[in-house]
């Protein structure tokens, strides 16, 4: 009986602390190398009037080098200003422990793509950011509280919430712990 109780306690503890498995939208290994990309995850959503803004993250690993893919989607009945990424663009992540993690954009200018339908203007922009080795480990330890994106001509700040229920799809997200839960998938 004593062994049964111990075994039950062990199994309950193990399942309570088990990490969820990594889910990839792309996972390719061939003669050229290895490329993995995690599923996109909603980090920020802003809806005001006729305008909606969404920011999605996915983590990628190319031959052992981890990167962050940031996708910004803007939807509006009005004109949408282009926010371009260039070699000087950065993502700053302020952590709950007070430290700031900086991610550097790759040397590739991108102003996104403007798509129009009958009612809305839509702008989709994607940037690839590299982790700085010095503070990469900090992302595993502490939740993110504020995100600052430095574009070519603009800087935007986003409060990173602990729980976000999307108006777009009704799903519940936990953007503040995104790196704590997913960075292991690209190590």
Query: Number of folded domains in the chain?
Result: 1
User: Which of the four pLDDT bands, split at 50, 70 and 90, describes residue 10?
Assistant: very low
In this prediction, residue 160 carries a pLDDT of: 96
Judge whether 11 lies within some domain. no
Global confidence as pTM? 0.85
Judge whether 12 lies within some domain. no
User: pLDDT (tens digit, 9 = 90+) per residue, 85-128?
Assistant: 999 999 999 999 999 999 999 988 999 999 998 889 999 999 99
Q: How far is CA 161 from CA 5, 10, 88, 173, in A?
A: 39, 33, 27, 9
In this prediction, residue 16 carries a pLDDT of: 40
Judge whether 38 lies within some domain. yes
Judge whether 168 lies within some domain. yes
In this prediction, residue 176 carries a pLDDT of: 97
Judge whether 98 lies within some domain. yes
Of 1 and 82, which is predicted with more confidence?
82
In this prediction, residue 136 carries a pLDDT of: 80
In this prediction, residue 2 carries a pLDDT of: 52
CA–CA dist 109, 86 (Å, integer): 4
Domain range for 145 is 23-186
Judge whether 15 lies within some domain. no
Tell the burial category of 160 from Cβ atoms under 10 Å away from its Cβ (0-12, 13-18, 19+): buried
User: pLDDT (tens digit, 9 = 90+) per residue, 54-77?
Assistant: 999 999 998 888 999 999 999 999
Judge whether 164 lies within some domain. yes
Judge whether 127 lies within some domain. yes
């Amino acid at each position: 009986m004593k062994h049964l109780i111990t075994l039950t306690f062990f199994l309950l503890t193990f399942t309570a602390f088990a990490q969820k498995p990594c889910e990839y939208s792309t996972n390719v290994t061939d003669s050229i190398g290895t490329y993995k990309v995690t599923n996109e995850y909603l980090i920020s959503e802003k809806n005001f009037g006729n305008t909606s803004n969404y920011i999605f993250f996915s983590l990628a690993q190319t031959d052992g080098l981890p990167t962050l893919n940031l996708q910004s989607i803007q939807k509006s009945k009005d004109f949408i200003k282009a926010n371009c990424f260039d070699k000087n663009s950065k993502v700053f992540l302020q952590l709950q422990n007070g430290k700031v993690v900086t991610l550097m954009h790759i040397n590739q200018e991108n102003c996104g793509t403007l798509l129009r339908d009958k009612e809305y203007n839509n702008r989709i922009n994607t940037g690839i950011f590299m982790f700085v080795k010095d503070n990469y480990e900090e992302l595993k330890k502490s939740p993110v509280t504020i995100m600052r994106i430095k574009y070519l001509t603009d800087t935007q700040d986003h409060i990173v919430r602990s729980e976000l229920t999307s108006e777009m799809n009704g799903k519940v997200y936990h953007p503040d712990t995104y790196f704590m839960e997913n960075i292991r998938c690209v190590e």
